[in-house]
Amino acid sequence: MKGNSFYPVSKTLFWLFVLAFGMLTLGGAWPVEDPYVLVSQCFSAFYFLYFIAITPLRLLWDSVLS
């Protein structure tokens, strides 16, 4: 398994994941009102989809390079 330095798309997705983590941390202090709930739901979806999408993307990138 190669590190993130070999996967440029993974680097970008990792930093978006870190952003989502930070926004969800801040979102925990937001009131339960319409725009805040929607923003938190979007970041939650990306947070969990990251784990589902990262492995197939790495496998796809490996198959493209070889």
Tell me which residue range forms the domain holding 44. 8-65
* Cα 60 from Cα 9, distance rounded (Å): 11
Give a yes or no: residue 38 inside a domain.
yes
Q: Tokens 């490996």 sit at which residue?
A: 62
The model's pLDDT over 2-61, given as tens digits with 9 standing for 90+, comes to: 676 677 788 888 999 999 999 999 999 999 999 999 999 999 999 999 999 888 888 888
- Taking the model in full, what pTM does it have? 0.80
DSSP for residue 40: H
Cβ atoms within 10 Å of 20's Cβ, excluding its own: 20
| Whether 24 contacts 40, CB under 8 Å | yes
Give a yes or no: residue 12 inside a domain.
yes
Total structural domains within the chain: 1
Q: Tokens 């994941």 sit at which residue?
A: 17
